[in-house]
A = this chain, B = another copy of it.
Amino acid sequence: MLYLIGLGLGDVKDITVKGLEIVRQCSRVYLEAYTSILTVGKEALEEYYGRELLLADRDMVEQQADEILKGADVSDVAFLVVGDPFGATTHSDLVLRALNAGIQYRVIHNASIMNAVGCCGLQLYNFGETVSIVFWTDTWRPESFYDKIKKNRDMGLHTLCLLDTSAHLKIYEPPRYMTVAQAAEELLEILQNRRDRDTVCVGLARIGAEDQTIRSGTLQELASCDLGGPLHSMIISGHLHPLEVDMLKLFSGPERLKTLKMTDSSTYVS
């Protein structure tokens, strides 16, 4: 059996009881090491699980899946993924390879950024398509994500922006994680009109971890804030329900608090 097990978002104890029991009885345990990161390292996980973890980078999952699946028809192999196992396409690929090899699979779900963002008070029902914001280079400055944000906003929907983690690239330099401030800078460069610049945005850092940080404000405000270590993500709000406004006030800076206290939520929709 191939077990795809979500680790959740924070530390070693965010795995489910069911997931932990399975990890402890599998013959091999892989840790997917490229789509996301926990706030703790591989060593902390190994100590808590009492198991050696085999790191699986993107190359291994995509090109040496047979090695991961070896023997999984007669014994149990666990494949650990930060968040929930079905956030990234390549895990569908692993499932299909397993089934083709006659290996059954099972998914142990957990929280991922896709649902945990609800903690900022914006209703998950009111999110449109998720977008990714990537690091610009001197010659590559894609703006396509902005069109999706615009479409969502035109329908009154919030947009979750997943920020670039160059960690998944096969490059020989330390991983880079885009911060909320960097993402806000890129968006500000794209935006031309004053009105959109006042859109209420939410910066989120290390959601699910002890030191998670949420900050609401305009792009300008987020561009100058420091939310600390990775991972960061950002939300561009759509139409705000009064209760959503009340929740966002919790996460606004002192100077912003005054503005957000206005009761007419439509003020925040361009």
Residues of A within 8 A of B (CB): 6, 8-18, 20-21, 84-87, 89, 92-93, 95-96, 99, 107, 109-112, 114-116, 118-119, 121, 123-130, 132, 151, 155, 157, 162, 207-208, 241, 243-244, 246-247, 250
- Do the beta carbons of A14 and B17 come within 8 Å of each other? yes
Q: How far is the CB of A34 from chain B (nearest CB, A)?
A: 17
Interchain CA distance A56-B243 in the complex, whole Å: 21
Contact of A8 among B109, B128, B155, B241 (CB under 8 A): B109
Contact of A16 among B13, B85, B207, B243 (CB under 8 A): B13
List of 3 A-B pairs having minimum Cβ-Cβ separation, nearest first: A86-B118, A109-B111, A13-B18
Closest to A148 in B: B155
- Do the beta carbons of B109 and A208 come within 8 Å of each other? yes
**In the complex, which of the residues A6, A124, A244 has the most CB atoms of chain B within 10 Å of its own CB atom?**
A124
Contact of A118 among B9, B16, B84, B151 (CB under 8 A): B84
Q: How far is the CB of A240 from chain B (nearest CB, A)?
A: 12
What residues of B have a CB within 8 angstroms of the CB of A92 in the complex?
121, 243-244, 246-247
Interchain CA distance A209-B121 in the complex, whole Å: 28
Contact of A115 among B84, B119, B250 (CB under 8 A): B84
Copies of this chain per assembly: 2
Contact of A15 among B16, B21, B121 (CB under 8 A): B16
Task: Decide yes or no: A155 and B129 within 8 Å by CB, A92-B121, A92-B243 being known contacts.
Answer: yes
Contact of A84 among B21, B87, B111, B123 (CB under 8 A): B111
Interchain CA distance A162-B207 in the complex, whole Å: 25
What residues of B have a CB within 8 angstroms of the CB of A111 in the complex?
6, 84, 109-112, 115
Interchain CA distance A87-B126 in the complex, whole Å: 11
- Do the beta carbons of A87 and B118 come within 8 Å of each other? yes
Closest to A93 in B: B243
Interchain CA distance A130-B85 in the complex, whole Å: 21
Q: How far is the CB of A96 from chain B (nearest CB, A)?
A: 6
Contact of A125 among B11, B115, B130, B241 (CB under 8 A): B130
Q: How far is the CB of A94 from chain B (nearest CB, A)?
A: 11
Q: How far is the CB of A163 from chain B (nearest CB, A)?
A: 14
- Do the beta carbons of B96 and A246 come within 8 Å of each other? yes
Interchain CA distance A15-B151 in the complex, whole Å: 37
- Do the beta carbons of A130 and B124 come within 8 Å of each other? yes
Interchain CA distance A9-B116 in the complex, whole Å: 15
12 inter-chain pairs at a CB distance below 8 angstroms, sorted by A residue, are A6-B111, A8-B110, A13-B21, A84-B111, A89-B123, A92-B244, A95-B121, A99-B250, A111-B112, A114-B114, A124-B130, A129-B157
